[in-house]
């Protein structure tokens, strides 16, 4: 069902300052924290071609990040909310470069930063959810996506034994949406929320059979234009995926324009996927 409602440079000193302020604003209101996070992303273009250069940096301090785990390959999983007995687990997957890029991931990458306020919005509005963000070891898709898929598979391998029997909802932006779509058939994955996803025609769809998918896109997205995803979404529907696609007029790839709406739609999507998966 389709409903209609309603590039890149290195992160500079100003972006890092804004990002650090956003990350350290543990006592600030959610609105202030979200605005600070958005300030960092405003200094750089975004999308699947966005790839800042720089060495890996430690994650900004955040008292809500109770669990930080690193993979042998350099991916890092951090918790935004980690209740002891969650009703679901939400794993957020950030965007990255379309072109081959072996730039190491870091926490001040705009693609990583833009999911910080979304993770907090999900934790706030889906109060029994364990919410985790994955930072990929490398920034790009790198031809086959092997590294990004490896990192996401590693994160699922960490979360499944920690929360046995608890459904996992994937929430991916851009390249992270492509990773989420590819992992829909993984054990314990209930479904996914895809924000401005990169879904090229020809990607596999068999894993989507019977899975609920909420797809949020903007009409002004020039990085991953909505028409470019129609072939993949059509193939997934034919396979039996339960897709709820919402195309938002005037919104673009960075999720900065009307960012409150993106945040609201994201946590509502998590609730929807969770409810639909429970009634499969």
Tell me the longest C-alpha to C-alpha distance in the chain.
49
Q: Give the model's pLDDT for residue 249.
A: 96
Report how far residue 272's alpha carbon sits from residue 73's, in angstroms, rounded to the nearest whole number.
33
DSSP, collapsed to helix, strand or coil, labels residue 244 as strand
Q: What is the mean pLDDT of the chain?
A: 82
- Angstrom CA distances, 67 to 44, 79, 83, 127, stand at 29, 5, 11, 18
pLDDT surpasses 50 at 94:
yes
pLDDT surpasses 80 at 27:
no
pLDDT surpasses 60 at 188:
yes
Q: Which of 193, 199, 157 is nearest to 175 (CA)?
A: 199
- CB 117 within 8 Å of CB 144: no
- CB 130 within 8 Å of CB 171: no
- CB 243 within 8 Å of CB 209: no
Report how far residue 190's alpha carbon sits from residue 178's, in angstroms, rounded to the nearest whole number.
16
pLDDT surpasses 70 at 93:
yes
Q: pLDDT digit string (tens) for 43-80? A: 333 334 333 333 333 433 333 445 789 999 999 999 99
Q: pLDDT digit string (tens) for 227-270? A: 999 999 999 999 999 999 999 999 999 999 999 999 999 999 99
DSSP, collapsed to helix, strand or coil, labels residue 216 as strand
pTM: 0.79
DSSP, collapsed to helix, strand or coil, labels residue 119 as helix
Region class of 54: left (phi > 0), else alpha (psi between -120 and 50), else beta: left
Domains, the chain, ranges and CATH?
A: 2-6+63-278 (3.40.50.1820)
Q: Name beta bridge partners: 215.
A: 194, 245
H-type helices in the chain, by residue range?
13-24, 30-42, 110-113, 116-125, 146-162, 175-182, 230-239, 259-278
pLDDT band for position 113 (cuts 50, 70, 90): very high
């Amino acid at each position: 069902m389709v409903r209609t409602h309603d590039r890149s440079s290195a992160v500079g000193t100003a972006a890092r300052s804004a990002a650090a302020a956003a990350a350290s604003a543990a006592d600030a209101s959610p609105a202030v924290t979200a605005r600070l996070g958005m300030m960092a992303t405003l200094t750089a273009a975004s999308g699947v071609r966005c790839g800042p250069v720089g060495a890996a940096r430690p994650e900004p301090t955040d008292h809500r990040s109770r669990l930080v785990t690193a993979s042998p390959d350099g991916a890092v999983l951090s918790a935004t909310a980690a209740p002891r007995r969650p009703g679901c687990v939400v794993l957020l997957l950030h965007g990255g470069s379309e072109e081959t890029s072996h730039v190491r991931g870091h926490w001040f990458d705009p693609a990583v930063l833009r999911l910080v306020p979304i993770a907090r919005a999900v934790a706030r509005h889906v109060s029994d959810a364990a919410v985790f963000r994955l930072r990929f070891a490398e920034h790009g898709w790198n031809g086959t996506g092997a590294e990004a898929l490896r990192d996401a598979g590693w994160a699922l391998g960490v979360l499944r034994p920690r929360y046995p029997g608890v459904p996992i909802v994937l929430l991916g932006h851009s390249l992270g949406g492509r990773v989420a779509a590819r992992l829909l058939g993984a054990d314990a994955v209930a479904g996914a929320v895809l924000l401005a996803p990169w879904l090229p025609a020809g990607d596999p769809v068999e894993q989507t059979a019977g899975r609920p998918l909420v797809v949020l896109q903007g009409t002004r997205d020039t990085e991953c234009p909505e028409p470019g995803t129609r072939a993949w979404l059509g193939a997934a529907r034919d396979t039996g995926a339960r897709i709820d696609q919402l195309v938002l007029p005037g919104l673009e790839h960075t999720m900065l324009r009307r960012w409150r709406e993106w945040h609201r739609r994201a946590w509502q999507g998590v609730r929807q996927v969770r409810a639909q998966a429970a009634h499969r």
